Amino acid sequence: MREHIDKINTERKLDFANLPSFQDLTDKEGRIYLNGERIILTSSSVFGILRKDLKENISEQRMKGFLIRYGWNLGKLDAQRVLKQRLSSIEQILRQGPVLHMIRGYTKVQRTNLNIDYDPSGKINAVHVEGIWTGSYEAEEHLRQFGVTNEFICHTLVGYASGYYSEICRRKVIFKETSCKAAGSSYCYYVGKTIPEWKDDIVEELKYYEDNPIVEELAITYEKLLEERNNLAKTFIVHQQLTEKLVEGEDIPSIAELVHQKTQLPIMIDNTKHNLIAHAGFGLINSLQHYQTFLEALQQEEAQDWFKIRRVSYNGCQFLTSPIMLKKKYIGSCTFVYGENEQPTKVDQMILERTATVCSLYMLNEKTTFEAMERMKGHFLDQIIDGSIASKKEMIKRGSYLQVDLDQNYFIVAINYEHTKNHSRNELVFHEQVMEHVLNYFKTRSNMLIGQRSSTIILLIQIQSSASEVCTLCSHLKDNLHEHFSNRMFTFGISTIGLDVKLANDHYHEALTALSMATRSKSVMLFEDLSVVGMLIHSKNKDAIKQKAKHLLGPLYQDKDRYKELLKTLYVFLSNGGNLEKSMKELALSMSGLRYRVKQLEEILGEQLRDPAVSHQLLLTLEVLLAKSELSFE
Q: What are the pLDDT digits (tens) for 470-499?
A: 888 899 999 999 888 888 889 999 998 888
The dotted CATH code for 231-366 is 3.30.450.40
Per-residue pLDDT, averaged over 561-587, amounts to 87
Q: What percent of the chain has pLDDT over 70?
A: 87
Rounded to 10 degrees, the C-alpha dihedral 354/358/361/363 comes to -120
Mean pLDDT is lowest, of 116-120, 291-295, 540-544, for 540-544
Pick the CATH number of 387-530 from 3.30.1330.10, 3.30.70.270, 3.40.1080.10, 3.40.50.1980: 3.30.70.270
Q: What are the pLDDT digits (tens) for 305-330?
A: 666 788 887 777 888 889 988 878 88
Greater confidence, 342 or 111?
Answer: 111
Per-residue pLDDT, averaged over 445-454, amounts to 82
Per-residue pLDDT, averaged over 51-73, amounts to 84
CA distance 609 to 60: 95
Is 0.85 surpassed by the pTM of this model? no
Q: What are the pLDDT digits (tens) for 71-123?
A: 999 999 989 988 888 787 888 888 888 888 788 788 999 999 999 999 888 88
CA distance 48 to 239: 51
Q: Can you give the residue ranges of every domain in the chain?
A: 5-211, 231-366, 387-530, 542-627
CA distance 500 to 485: 35
Q: What percent of the chain has pLDDT over 90?
A: 16
CATH topology of domain 542-627: Arc Repressor Mutant, subunit A (1.10.10)
Number of neighbours of residue 607 by Cβ within 10 angstroms: 17
pLDDT of residue 287: 76
Greater confidence, 22 or 37?
Answer: 37
Secondary structure letter of residue 308 according to DSSP: S
- Report the chain's mean pLDDT, rounded to a whole number: 82
Single-letter amino acid code for the residue at 205: E
Per-residue pLDDT, averaged over 344-351, amounts to 86
pLDDT of residue 422: 56
Task: Identify the band that residue 187 occupies on the pLDDT scale cut at 50, 70 and 90.
Answer: very high
Per-residue pLDDT, averaged over 17-40, amounts to 63
Residue 329 main-chain phi, psi, to 5 deg: -120, 145
Task: Identify the band that residue 163 occupies on the pLDDT scale cut at 50, 70 and 90.
Answer: very high
Answer yes or no: is pLDDT of 13 > 50.
no
Secondary structure in 3-state letters for 440-462? HHCCCCCCEEEEEECCEEEEEEC
Answer yes or no: is pLDDT of 159 > 90.
yes
pLDDT of residue 198: 93
Answer yes or no: is pLDDT of 14 > 80.
no
Answer yes or no: is pLDDT of 344 > 50.
yes
Answer yes or no: is pLDDT of 544 > 60.
no
Mean pLDDT is lowest, of 251-265, 348-362, 518-532, 567-581, for 518-532
pLDDT of residue 189: 96
pLDDT of residue 215: 65
The dotted CATH code for 5-211 is 3.30.1380.20
pLDDT of residue 237: 85
Answer yes or no: is pLDDT of 26 > 70.
no
Per-residue pLDDT, averaged over 538-543, amounts to 55
Per-residue pLDDT, averaged over 550-572, amounts to 82
Secondary structure in 3-state letters for 205-244? HHHHHCCCCHHHHHHHHHHHHHHHHHHHHHHHHHHHHHHH
Answer yes or no: is pLDDT of 602 > 90.
no
pLDDT of residue 131: 94
Go through the chain and tell me how many residues it has.
634
pLDDT of residue 465: 63
Answer yes or no: is pLDDT of 304 > 80.
no
pLDDT of residue 519: 81
